Structure formats: structure tokens, C-alpha cells
Structure 1
Amino acid sequence: MKTIRYSILALLIFTVMSCNSEKKESKNLNVEVYETSESGNKLTRITEFTKVDSSAVIKLLPEQKFQTITGFGGSFTESSAYLLNKLSKRNRDTILQAYFAEDGARYSLTRTHIASCDFSLNNYTYAPEADDMELKSFNIEEDRDDLIPMIKGAQAISQDGFKIISSPWSSPPWMKDNKAYVGGKLLPKYYDVFALYFSKYLEAYKAEGIDIWGLTPVNEPHGNGYNWESMHFSPEEETNFVQNHLGPKLEADGFGDVNILGYDQNRKGIKEWVDEMYKDEASSKYFDGLAIHWYESTFDYLPKELQYAYNKAPNKYLIETEGCVDSEIPKWQDDAWYWKKEATDWGWDWASPKDKHLHPKYAPVNRYARDIIGCLNNWVDGWVDWNMVLDKQGGPNWFENWCVAPVIVDPVADEVYFTPLYYTMAHFSKYIRPGAEVIGVENADADLMVTAAINPDGSIAVVLFNEGKTYKDFTLMLGEETVKVKINGQAIQTILIPTKSK
């Protein structure tokens, strides 16, 4: 009898445990779902969830933590600022609110140019007088009409504030061996003067109420084919400049907290640059991280190169400082184009035969979504888009180097077009906040790209991209809680878990 009673008791315990287990497995995960899709959603709140028992499970692993996020955003350029001033106050405010307000994209990391770049109205420098070794002629007057007002307008709107990375496309021409804005090298005898140029820039902008968070020594040190403002640095030359001139000068002038990011060009060059920058303690002292661009390929985010950069210096920043749909005139009020593989880039025409396969026709949204998710899953902590605003021609641009921006305007008709790229950027910038930590994800569906991060307030943001043409069902799991979700074909989706589940 005792044996039978024990058997019955064991059966009851097993039954109760099974019921409790079933309850735990069926516990609902509280989420908010937002989607942008080829079918027409634009950061639309999704309230109808799938009932399909999908075998595809995406499991969040918050105990696995990776890099800390610096931010997401776009760039203040003279072209964008000039266009804003051509619009009505209502539309100008609409655009800045869309990028920086709490109910907008909440951009947190931005970039701007030091003196002129291709997206300026003309060539200019802050130090126009040749051989002015003390830079007595230094001034930022060219920025006062458009660029500075745009930055200040964004500052007035942003509740949390945003960081700014500043980059020169060239030193003043008289400091270079060819005495021109385009191409050439900085002459060693002007290394200290160019370091002073940065210090004066930081001081001048600070006087305007604009603190600069980071600098790069020059944009694209490999050059750009001698097309627009540029200045060539080898890894050894730039490291020497930062180690022995720029870093010490900023430190001496009270700007030692400004972050210096080296390189600032495409990812295939990462290895040779970080090997030199981080060669030893002395060479790496003033480098706070690496700046990179995406123009090497329209589809490959080059994870091995990103991982190499991280492993070389795990405690340094790794930030994408520029990316855009280049060599294209924007399509006006044509959302479908941004989802179709019809765009071409510079490499479509000019890439070498061995690299031609990296530059096929592509869909702009796909390129952005793939690259940002791929970057986040490979140690990148910040991602900055290029121009925030361009016109229907893809300018203004003194070199006529037309590109696409997330917001396109017609200043004559005073019209604004928010392209699907704006909403794509917002899926990251709005919900993954500075200080968030990228967390582990187990993804059972190889056709979905997924990344996730836990924010400082404990909320978790999961961003998915479905490049396929048909919808997909999946189960999102956090601990013992689950939710069944459907993502449309050709769609990017952010799932926000408002507070960390207990």
C-alpha cells in the first residue's frame, strides 16, 4: 500500500509540475511592434499578432552582452542647411522635429564637416591667408548663415541632446604640397599648424554653444579620385600626426576629452590602419576609436574586417561615420523605388573587374537595413548617415556629385518627401538609445536578419529585416515568455519590450 500511495503522490506532483511548466511556456511577452514595409507601412504600430505555431524561434539572450551603443543619426552639411533655409518655417521645423524630437527619430549621433566638402556650395577654408602660422585669419563666418543655425535648431528640439563628430575634407590648401583643395598631402612643416586649426575650430564652435564630441583627422585619407576636397594620409602619416601633434595640442588646449577617431574610410582598409594606429601604447594613446564608411560594397558589410578592428582594440570606438545612396538622383515621391533593386553606385561603373561583383544593382532600403544590422552584430557601436536633406537633383553640390538623403525637398514648391530611408533609420535611432548594450540572439530563421539591444532603462529593442518577398511568422522568446509575430515581406520591424521581464 505504501508503494502505491507513493506512486500516486509522484503522479500528482508530476501532473502539477507539468501544468506549471505549461503555464510558464505559454506566458505572453508584452511587446510593441513597429513596421516599415514595401507594402506601405511607415513605422506603423502593428496590433494584430499571428496565431501560427511557428517552429522558427528567435531567442533573446540578455545575459550575453556585447558593445555599448554610442548612437545613430545623420550629418549636418551646408547643402542640407541651405535647403532648410529655403523652405517655409513650418516645413523647416517639420524636418528638424522628425529627426530630433521625442516623437521623431531621436537622432543621437551626428557628423559635420570642418570647412568645405563636396556637399558645400563652394570651396572655402577657415584660414584663408597663406602661411598664417598663428592662424590669425581663422574664422567660421562661412558657417553662420546655414550650418550653425541648423545645428542650433536641432539642439533646441533634442530632449536628450546628441553628439557631433567633425571631419575636415582638406586642410587649408596652402598647407599642402599641391596648394589645392583637391588631393595632395599635408606638408610636415604644417603639422603643428593644422593641429592648431582643429583647436581653433573647437574653440569657435564652443563659443557658439556647440560642443564637438569627436574628430577625424581627415575624411577619406585614401582620397576620392581627385574629384572634390580631399587630402591624402598614409596610416603612418596620420598616426604620426595624431600621436605627436593633434593629440598633444588638444590636450594642452583643454580639449583632451574630444574623441579622435582614425581612418574614416572604407572597411577593406581596416587592417592596415588599425595595425598602425594601435601598434603600441604610444601610437594608440590619442586614438579613441576607428571611423569607417560603407562604400566598398552594396551588400557585404565585411564582418571579418569589423571583427578584426574590435579584436585589435576592444575598448575603442568603432563607428560608421558615413554611408549614403551615392551616384543617384533621388526618386521623388516614389516609395516603390527605394525597395527595388534598381539603384547603382559608383562601383557599378568604376569598380575594378575583381570587385565588380560587390556593386550590383540594389534596393536602397535593403542596403541600409542589412548594413546596420550586420554592423551591430559585429561590434560597431555607432552608425551615421550622410546628408539629412537634399533636393530633387540630389544636391546642391558644387561638384555635382549627386546622392540621396532620407528627406528630399523641393524648395521652389516648398514640399517635403520623407523617403522609406528615413523610416529605416528611425527603426534604430528611435528605439536603440545611447548606452544600450547589444545582446545575444539565437535566430532559427536564416532568412531573417536580427539584432537586439537592452537600453539603459531596461527596455529591449529587437530589429528584424525580412528581405524576402513573402511574410514570415516567428516566435520571439525572452526567458519563459513568448510572443508570436508576423513580419511582412520586404519589411523592417522593431519590436520593443517596454520593460525587462521579471
Structure 2
Amino acid sequence: MKTINPLLCLLFTLVIMSCNEKNNDLEVTILETSANGNKLTEIKPVAKAENSSSVKILPQEEFQTITGFGGSFTESSAYLLNQVSKENRNKVLEAYFGESGAKYSLTRTHMNSCDFSLGNYSYAPVEDDMELEHFSIDEDREDIIPMIKDAMAVSKDGFKIISSPWTAPIWMKDNKKWEGGKLLPKYNDTWALFFSKYIDAYKAEGIDIWGFTVENEPLGNDSNWESMHFSPEEMTSFVTNHLGPRLEADNHDVKILGYDQNREELHKWVDVMYGDETASKYYSGAAVHWYASTYDYFPEALQYAHKKAPNKHLINSEACVDAEVPKWKDDKWYWSKEATDWGFDWAPDDQKHLHPKYAPVNRYARDIIGCLNNYVDGWVDWNMVLDRQGGPNWAENWCVAPVLVDPEKDEVYFTPIYYTLSHFSKYIRPEAKRIGIEVSDEALMATAAKNVDGTIAVILFNEGPEEKVVTLALEDQEVSIKINGQAIQTILIGKSQS
């Protein structure tokens, strides 16, 4: 019998151990945007540290199917892109829709004018045109339609469009004004026909409309700009008896999203929207905005809406840093708790606590992660492009956009908000499934989704100032990651989508 060399045994054991360790290493691509200057910067894993935080991915737990992420085609944004050089116009469109950019997959635009228009207009300007014989989208041909078409040309995978009216033509309203008022009942059928004609007109331009919200902010905006008021019962009656049947009769396969305002009122609306079988038939889901608070994403309201109708969409259709003139080429401001919103000055006393100062990046990261973890399947930002004033806006309702331009100097500024949004839109793709995740550290926020190509995207947010080491585990594999203070990361498992 041959004697086994002990040294060979030891060597064999070490090789096996080494192989096992290698097999247990989770292969990842880590991209970070942070207050220290990283902008979707790739960073490497680190050595395992004692007392590290743990994040465990649970792919067997599946939740909502993702519809998409993106921003909005407003007349203001489209107009500004017509004012800069072709080079910068193409640069912005590539940044939002191209393979090297954010790859936006879900967008929004306005029907008729809104505050982020150059002025008030309607596609049906002729009074008492009951059959809308004079309906025309000519107002959109100079700016909005060319921007959408150019984005379509850049986008490899395409994107969905949600269209929202801020108001019906003023001749259909009881107050005959752009701001406030209600739709007169005698125009219910004409207003429903308006939606159908809009779909046909855009389709003739080669643009498909994926969905509608029935009315932007039906609770109103204190008559500061275009609006039209509905109660939950009034909107549901209009959808059930007029809009839904009209779109159905005209063979339009389009989503109808109800509500479309702040989340704290959501439960009242879904109770009515999904209150009976007929109403629920026409609603594809609900849309919400984030303006009720600068820090609270209202998880209870989102959970309530999901439980009320688990198979329907829940989409954040609008969000922005409002009531602020943008800071130009000042990345630090976007990471600093200096921004205020409308509620900082104007909220009633019992709601003041919901509107403290905040850091714009923090608000975006918190809200999107919080929404995803509470069944929201789509998240849409407001204007894609604004100028240094935060307009143009005929109502002087200045806001911030992820990309700012100076048409006079032909300059473009990609704010940290742009990179924050890209962490989601670029790597969590349509039809992905949100999956389970466990986080040991309450100071970290995280969400995860599995794409149809098998890749898993984990979004990790560290709002605090101190860097952290995190052990990320998937089944029997793990990897150690360092996340800087004030940072958001996308961690890709599987083939990189960058």
C-alpha cells in the first residue's frame, strides 16, 4: 500500500478551501452616487469587516411587476431643448433615453396647457363644439411632439406615455376660467370624446398613449394655475358612465388611472374607485403625487390602496423639488438640507410637521425606495428640463428639474437628482419583479428587483454622514461592500446592464 504524502494532502485541502471560498463570493457590479462626488461611479467590493450591516436578498419572495421609471414631457422642457444647440439637445435626450443614459421607460405629458406651458391653451378652442370638429393638437407640434419623437428615436426599448389634463376647455366649465371650477354635466360626453380624439391625433403622429389620468390634482391647487375639481364620486361617475365606455367603444386599449394627487387622501379615493364592479372595471389603477410631505412617503396609504385592488397599478405620476429656484452647478446644495417646499410656508398648522427642510437627493432616494417597498410599480418625475429660474412657467411656479439648461450660454447642468433617478430607471427595467430583502441596519434603506434577463438590482441608500460596510447575501453567496456616507448605490448581480 502506498503512503499518502501529508504535504500533498494539505495542498489539496487548501485548494478545495480556496475553490469553496471563491464559489461563495457573490459577483457584483457596484455603482455609486454620493455627496463626495461619485456619479454612477463603479466601485469595488471590500474585505469583510466585523460588525458590518447585513442585507439579505430573498428572490423567492415576489411582489409587484415594475411598469417603469422616468420623467415628463412638458411644453417648458420641450421649448428649452429647442433653444439650446443641437449638440446639447442630443446630449440631454441621450442622457434620458439612450443606452448610455438613464433609459427612461415611463413618462408623462399634459393634455391642453399646464403651469409648465408658455401660456394657456386648449386643443378645442371653439365654444360649444360638442362633436369637437375643430379639435387640433397643433399647439404641441412645435415643441412637445418633436421632443417625444426624438426621444423615441434614441430609446432602444421604447417607453410608455401617461397623458394628464389639468383642465377641460374653459367653455366646458362652470366658472369659465382656466383655474378651478368643475366640468358642467352637459359636457361629460364631449369631454370623454376629447380623450379619444387625443389618442387618435397622437397615433397619427406615430405616438402611442399608454394611459391617462382622469384629472391632474382633482382637489385643486388654490386656483394658482390650470385645474378642474372632482370629488371621488364625481370622477368615478365620469369614468364609469362616459370616459370608460367612450374609449371602449372607440377600441382604445389604454389605461385609466384615477385620483392623481397627494397620497394622504388616497384611501378615500380608492374606496370609491373600486367600490363596485362596474367602476373598478374601467380603472386600471391609481396615480399619486408626493407633495404632502418632504419626508413621509405614506406607506399605510399605499398599502391600503394595494390591498383594495392588488392587481391594479399604483403609480407615482409626479414629483419635483417645488417652490425653489434651482441652484446652478452647485452639487453640494442637492445633498444639503436646505430645500423647502410649498408647505414650509403655507401648510396649515396641523400639517407643518410634514414639511421640514430637506436635501433633494435624500427626498428622491427615500421616496422611490419607500414607494417600491409599498407596491408602487411606476415612478415618474416632473419636468425633465428647466432653466436657471426654474421655468419657464406662466404662473411663476418655479421648480427644480434633474437637468438644467442656460439657453443664452448654451450650457447644460446634470444635477445630482439626475444620477439618483438613473440608479432606478437604468437598472430596474420594465416587467422586473420586486423581490424580498432584509436589512439589519435601520439607518439604511434598500429595495431589490429581478429583471426579466435574470439580473438582480439592489438599491442601497445611506442617508447618514458615516460610511458603512455591508455584507450582501444571496442564498449561500455573499460579498462585502462599502457605501459612503450620503450615498446611493445600485448593486447588480448577474450580467451588468451598464
Q: Secondary structure at the match of 1:72?
A: strand
Is 1:185 equivalent to 2:182 in the alignment?
Answer: yes
The answer to whether the Cα contact below 8 Å between 2:257 and 2:284 also exists between their aligned partners in 1 is yes
Which of 291, 300, 307 does residue 295 from structure 1 map onto?
A: 291
Q: Secondary structure at the match of 2:405?
A: strand
Name 1:248's counterpart in structure 2: 245
Is 1:318 equivalent to 2:314 in the alignment?
Answer: yes
What is the CA distance between 1:26 and its match in structure 2?
A: 7.0
Name 2:427's counterpart in structure 1: 431
Alpha-carbon separation, structure 2, partners of 1:332 and 1:109:
27
The answer to whether the Cα contact below 8 Å between 1:292 and 1:319 also exists between their aligned partners in 2 is yes
Is 1:308 equivalent to 2:304 in the alignment?
Answer: yes
Name 2:7's counterpart in structure 1: none
Name 1:168's counterpart in structure 2: 165
Q: Which amino acid aligns with 1:426?
A: S
User: Which has the higher mean CA deviation after the structures are superposed, 488-497 or 20-29?
Assistant: 20-29
Is 1:225 equivalent to 2:231 in the alignment?
Answer: no
Name 2:336's counterpart in structure 1: 340
Alpha-carbon separation, structure 1, partners of 2:179 and 2:201:
25
Q: Which amino acid aligns with 2:385?
A: V
Alpha-carbon separation, structure 2, partners of 1:499 and 1:420:
26
Structure 1: which 5+ residue stretches go unaligned? 1-15
TM-score (norm 2): 0.95
Is 1:31 equivalent to 2:31 in the alignment?
Answer: no
The answer to whether the Cα contact below 8 Å between 2:45 and 2:479 also exists between their aligned partners in 1 is no
Is 1:97 equivalent to 2:94 in the alignment?
Answer: yes
What is the CA distance between 1:442 and its match in structure 2?
A: 1.1
Which of 143, 146, 153 does residue 146 from structure 1 map onto?
A: 143
TM-score (norm 1): 0.94
What is the CA distance between 1:180 and its match in structure 2?
A: 0.9
Name 2:274's counterpart in structure 1: 278
What is the CA distance between 1:497 and its match in structure 2?
A: 0.5
Is 1:474 equivalent to 2:474 in the alignment?
Answer: no
**For 1:47-67, what per-residue CA distance to the aligned partner results, in whole angstroms no more than 9, with x for missing partners?**
252442444211000000000
Q: Secondary structure at the match of 2:329?
A: coil
Alpha-carbon separation, structure 2, partners of 1:36 and 1:192:
49
The answer to whether the Cα contact below 8 Å between 1:267 and 1:305 also exists between their aligned partners in 2 is yes
Alpha-carbon separation, structure 1, partners of 2:146 and 2:52:
53
User: Which has the higher mean CA deviation after the structures are superposed, 408-417 or 491-500?
Assistant: 491-500
Cα gap change, 1:21 to 1:479, in 2 (>3 Å): farther
Q: Secondary structure at the match of 1:103?
A: coil
Considering only aligned residues, what root-mean-square deviation do their CA atoms show, in Å? Answer: 1.5
What is the CA distance between 1:21 and its match in structure 2?
A: 12
Alpha-carbon separation, structure 2, partners of 1:403 and 1:308:
30
The answer to whether the Cα contact below 8 Å between 2:336 and 2:358 also exists between their aligned partners in 1 is yes
Cα gap change, 1:409 to 1:354, in 2 (>3 Å): same
Q: Which amino acid aligns with 2:85?
A: S
Name 2:491's counterpart in structure 1: 495
Name 2:108's counterpart in structure 1: 111
Is 1:406 equivalent to 2:402 in the alignment?
Answer: yes
1:76-91 maps to which residues of 2 (within 5 A)? 76-91=73-88
Q: Secondary structure at the match of 1:165?
A: strand
Which of 388, 413, 417 does residue 413 from structure 2 map onto?
A: 417
What is the CA distance between 1:426 and its match in structure 2?
A: 0.1
Alpha-carbon separation, structure 2, partners of 1:416 and 1:407:
7
Q: Secondary structure at the match of 1:299?
A: coil
The answer to whether the Cα contact below 8 Å between 2:48 and 2:471 also exists between their aligned partners in 1 is no
Alpha-carbon separation, structure 1, partners of 2:340 and 2:105:
29
Name 2:3's counterpart in structure 1: none
Q: Which amino acid aligns with 1:182?
A: E
**For 1:453-488, what per-residue CA distance to the aligned partner results, in whole angstroms no more than 9, with x for missing partners?**
000000000001000001000100000110000000
Alpha-carbon separation, structure 2, partners of 1:433 and 1:42:
20
Alpha-carbon separation, structure 1, partners of 2:235 and 2:198:
19
The answer to whether the Cα contact below 8 Å between 2:53 and 2:468 also exists between their aligned partners in 1 is no
Name 2:56's counterpart in structure 1: 59
1:115-126 maps to which residues of 2 (within 5 A)? 115-126=112-123
Task: Work out the number of aligned pairs and report it.
Answer: 483
Alpha-carbon separation, structure 2, partners of 1:432 and 1:449:
16
**For 1:124-155, what per-residue CA distance to the aligned partner results, in whole angstroms no more than 9, with x for missing partners?**
00000111101111101110000000000000
Identity %: 68
Cα gap change, 1:49 to 1:20, in 2 (>3 Å): closer
Q: Which amino acid aligns with 1:116?
A: S
